[in-house]
Amino acid sequence: MLYKSFTGGIALADRKLAESKLTTRGKAIEVCPIPEQLIIPMVQHIGTPAQPIVGVGDLVLKGQIIGQAGDFISVPIHASTSGRVTAVEPRWHSSGKELLAVVIEADGADRWDPAVEELKPELWTPDSLRQRIRAAGIVGLGGACFPTHVKLTSPADKPITTLLINGSECEPFLSADHRVLLEQTERVVDGIEILRQILAVKRVIVGIEANKEDAIARMQQCVAGRDIEVQALAVKYPQGAEQLLVAALLGLQVPNCGLPMDLGVVVHNVATAAAVSAAVRYGHPLIERVVTVSGPGITCAKNLLVRIGTPLQKLVDFCAGPRGEIAKIITGGVMTGQSQISLAAPVIPGTLALLLFGAADLPQQEAGPCIRCGRCAAVCPLHLLPTAIADCASLGRFDDAQAQHVMNCMECGCCSFLCPAYRPLVQSIRYAKAGILAQQGRA
């Protein structure tokens, strides 16, 4: 059966991964216990970091604002449980640096801040809903962590006609969105309706990869009679990327260096929709997310509902610890995630998964010369020439790299995955991007 899709990309699901034995798709979400200490970074989203407004010794309640939003592209940050602030200092972050965080010692009571309450339906207007979403600190839960309220604010000359809901979850090992679609379907649909009301769109399409048949069926059940389309997408990585979702579902290309808004389209993740519903109906800020803990290096792979700020070590402990000697720890997907140097970093809204691998599980090799096989060019979903860009980067020719549209690259990793010479193409691309930005900063 032919499903909608985009050109390029790789069919990862049928690769010889150990994933088939480790799949967590069938495992219901378990609640990860609240740790004794929560480390809540002030850098959790794209945009301006939040500023802490609590000090050492302060008592905080669950849902209380502990970090004030910066400018428009920023959201406030909330305490994930009740307790006492023991430190406001730089702590290890999953991005590999030490960044400012508020450390809370949980008191075990987990009491809600009384200010947390629903937004009454009679008060719903697009503006009040947007304000509520911002106040609740909702950011995109598909990995990019873009403040949701910004995506819901469109300039007057760009009317929004279509809302796309991203249920692709194309990376191997990840199953958080899949479980959210199965277990929180009503909440997701409610969130979609709220988003529809804010944007006043006519067309709403939910895109789900075809290998999640139970989720597709469940969604179709729940949206019956609501004028929401559910589309099955071809199982291809990186279907979950925003531009490629728009290309697959609508057949349109988001303009170069532009946004889906330029086409009158807005894309939101399914988990974000569920979080929007919780924020509006109950006033719950973003203090938890579903994280898939998986990989050949974990004893018991699970889908966990985790409080933001939980150290990664706690997740591993709750999953019966590592299996064998661990050589690599990755937060996020195995194609776009970040290698970690320890388990001290906390869970943030961008932590889609925690994956553990032994030395034999991920083949690594010294890079060889490019043999010009052309696989990277054929597989690139944005039709770039990764090997040409990598050559420019290695020679320091950042202007040439820019002419090759390196700034368009979404760093999906398809090129490096296939390269027979094991060239670190995505790393070269990142190096070129940093070089270009440095040149622009200097200019």
Partner 1 sequence: MLNAIVGLGQIGLVAAIALGWAAKRFAIDVDEREQAICAALPGANCGGCGFPGCASYASAIISGAAPINLCRLGGSAVVENIADIMGVKAELQAAQIAVVLCQGDNSKTTLKYRYCGLHDCNAANQLADGPKLCPSGCLGLGSCVAVCAFAAISISAQGLAQVNRSRCTGCGKCVAICPRHVIRLAPAAATTHVLCSSHDKGGVVRSYCQVGCIGCGLCRKTVPEAFIVDKFLARIDYAHADLAAAAIAICPNGCIVDFSKNFPAGSRLSSPPSLVADDGKDQH
Partner 2 sequence: MAMQLNMSSSPHLHSGDTTARIMRRVIVALLPACGVAIYLFGLPALAVIVWCLLGSLAAEALCCYLSERPLTLADNSAAVTGLLLAMNLPPSAPWWLCLFGAIIAIGLGKQVFGGLGHNPFNPALVARVVLLISFPLQMTNWTAPAPLGSAIDAVSAATPLGEMKTAIMLTGQLPATSQASLSNYFIGNMPGSLGEVSALALLVGGIYLLLNRVITWEIPVSYLGTVVICSGVMWLSNAQRYPDPLFHLLTGGLMLGALFMATDMVTTPITRKGMLIFGCGCGVLTVVIRLFGGYPEGVSFAILLMNAATPLIDRYSRPQVFGYADNHGSHREQPTKRPEL
Q: Which residues bind partner 1 (CB under 8 A)?
A: 96-97, 339, 341, 364, 367, 394, 424, 427-428, 430-431, 434
Question: Looking at 87, 100, 116, 418, which residue binds partner 2 (CB under 8 A)?
Answer: 418
Beta bridge partners of residue 173, listed in sequence order:
none
Residue 253: exposed, middle, or buried by beta-carbon count in 10 A (0-12, 13-18, 19+)? Answer: middle
Number of H helices, E strands in the chain: 14, 17
**158 contacts partner 2 (rule: CB under 8 A):** yes
**339 contacts partner 2 (rule: CB under 8 A):** yes
**264 contacts partner 2 (rule: CB under 8 A):** yes
**254 contacts partner 2 (rule: CB under 8 A):** yes
Q: Copy the structure tokens of residue 217.
A: 């069926």
319 binds, among partner 1, partner 2, none (CB under 5 to 8 A by kind): none
Measured at the CA of 235, the angle between CA 232 and CA 237, to 5 degrees, comes to: 125
Beta bridge partners of residue 52, listed in sequence order:
67
Helix (H) or strand (E) segment spanning residue 150: helix 148-151
Question: Looking at 59, 299, 383, 399, which residue binds partner 2 (CB under 8 A)?
Answer: 383
**Cβ closest to partner 1, residue 264 vs residue 324:** 324
- Closest to 207 measured CA to CA, from 166, 250, 239, 243: 166
385 binds, among partner 2, partner 1, none (CB under 5 to 8 A by kind): partner 2
**202 contacts partner 2 (rule: CB under 8 A):** no
Q: Copy the structure tokens of residue 146.
A: 């873009």
**172 contacts partner 2 (rule: CB under 8 A):** yes
CB of 422 to partner 1, least distance (A): 9
367 binds, among partner 1, partner 2, none (CB under 5 to 8 A by kind): partner 1
**98 contacts partner 2 (rule: CB under 8 A):** no
CB of 150 to partner 2, least distance (A): 7
User: Interface with partner 2 by CB under 8 A: which range of 198-206, 335-343, 345-353, 393-401?
Assistant: 335-343
294 binds, among partner 2, partner 1, none (CB under 5 to 8 A by kind): none
97 binds, among partner 1, partner 2, none (CB under 5 to 8 A by kind): partner 1
Coil, helix or strand at residue 429: helix
Query: Taking CB under 8 A as the rule, which mask of x and - marks residues 6-25 in contact with partner 2?
Result: ------x--xxx--------
56 binds, among partner 2, partner 1, none (CB under 5 to 8 A by kind): none
What are the Cα distances from residue 271, in Å, to 59, 167, 301, 309, 310?
Answer: 30, 9, 20, 18, 19
**Cβ closest to partner 2, residue 184 vs residue 243:** 243
**122 contacts partner 2 (rule: CB under 8 A):** no
- Closest to 347 measured CA to CA, from 21, 26, 44, 75: 44
Buried b (16+ CB within 10 A) or exposed e, 326-357: bebbbbbbbbbbeebeebebbbbbbbbbbbbb
Buried b (16+ CB within 10 A) or exposed e, 274-285: bbbbbbbeebbb
User: Interface with partner 2 by CB under 8 A: which range of 117-125, 127-135, 182-190, 358-366?
Assistant: 358-366
Torsion sign across C-alpha atoms 228, 216, 232, 263: positive
**Cβ closest to partner 1, residue 256 vs residue 364:** 364
Window 229 to 248, contacts with partner 2 (CB under 8 A) = 243, 247
**Cβ closest to partner 2, residue 227 vs residue 325:** 325
What span, in angstroms and rounded, lies between the C-alpha atoms of 282 and 29?
21
